[in-house]
Amino acid sequence: MKTVKKKKLKLKKSVIVTFCVVVALIMFSVSLYYYLLSPVDKNNNKTIHFVVKEGESSKQIINNLKTANLIKNKEVAYVYSFFNKDLVYKVGTFSLKQNMGTKKVLNTLDSGRTKEQDGINITFEEGKRYIDYIDKITETFNIKSGDFESLMNNEEYLQSLINDYWFLTDDILNKNIYYPLEGYLFPDTYNFYENVNAKEIIKALLDNTKIKLDKYKDNIESNNFSIHELMTLASIIEVEGKVGSDRAGIAGVFINRINAKMNLGSDVTTYYGAKKTFKDDLTAEELNECNAYNTRSTCYLKMPASPVSNPGIEAIEAIINPEINDYLFFVSDKDGKIYFSKTSEEHQKQVASLKRSGNWYVYD
């Protein structure tokens, strides 16, 4: 009987010990889980611009967050994301900090979270000008346009950007340029805190441009055109070519005209030189004006002094990999379809045909 009692007592103690161990393990696991969800550095308030690319899976995004040192542990982030299936990660550039913690970081990337404490989303469109971006920024945030003007007139600041970004060169310091960073601010959706300043916004856009251009760096550096010339041509193609499949063809035309020592003949550059929107008509004087942007004028056979819009990746790819053709002219109809011609006579006939049929293209 004593032996049976001893066995029962041992079993009871074993169960109690096992229970205590299990409880301790659960408590430890829970504590560890919440610790690993906590901020990487609760005292670090420095903004880190984090980019979510099109087509990235939640696992890839979380891996990138760990690489950027914005979360402590990616496995715990996987678990949190798995049990919060309503989280939807939006494509764009987000302002994140190491003192946010994993939950807040992931919620900031959630397309449904645009509350003040999680930042404000702002979208910059392809083909829009620098001044369009500044107008949108000043309408959204408590920043004055003068803040950007001061930076663009600060050669020391511009030189620091040239030192930081391989795609910015001394070309942006040309005194004929209207806005030094025109063409280099990548169009995308960004997320900023409400109290963001002008320098932080410029940095975020340039950081994104770097990410987008890095994979083409070898092609760009081996190109016959400089990076500034490529971005300038891409900026024209962005506005001239609304249909992605025709942009490489337009690039081919521009290269043919340059090789033939012809002017580019793009209305887009003339509007930019005249500082007019496409809703306004160009005067005969503006069409013939000899300035650093007007490629309609026969007195100016060079490329514009700078880009005339901020191009997206398709326009950039088009000029890096242009279509080889023997066309010298093109025109677009109102649906964005491009018609190519080899001679001026063919081109003028196509223009007349489009106008007669009511298909003449009008810029947005």
Interval 156-213: pLDDT, tens: 999 999 999 999 999 999 999 999 999 999 999 998 988 899 999 999 999 999 999 9
pTM assigned to the model: 0.72
Looking at residue 117, the DSSP 8-state letter turns out to be G
Which pLDDT does position 83 carry in this prediction?
A: 80
In a domain, 350, yes or no: yes
Q: Which of 214, 233, 250 is the last residue of a domain?
A: 214
In a domain, 306, yes or no: yes
Q: Is 38 exposed, middle or buried (0-12, 13-18, 19+ CB in 10 A)?
A: middle
Say whether both 199 and 317 belong to one domain. no
Tokens describing residue 156: 């020391």
CATH assignment of the domain containing 76: 3.30.1490.480
- Count of domains forming the chain: 3
Name the maximum alpha-carbon separation found in the chain: 117
Which pLDDT does position 115 carry in this prediction?
A: 41
Say whether both 137 and 186 belong to one domain. yes
* Confidence band of 294 (pLDDT split at 50, 70, 90): very high
Q: Which of 147, 182, 214 is the last residue of a domain?
A: 214
Which pLDDT does position 9 carry in this prediction?
A: 64
Say whether both 320 and 260 belong to one domain. yes
Report pLDDT digits (tens) over 255-264: 999 999 999 9
Residue 7: pLDDT above 90? no
Where would I find the beta strands (DSSP E) of the chain? 47-52, 92-97, 120-123, 189-192, 329-332, 338-341
Order of all β-strands in the sheet with 189-192: 47-52, 92-97, 189-192, 120-123
Report pLDDT digits (tens) over 28-57: 666 667 788 889 898 888 788 888 887 888
Range of the domain at 315: 225-356
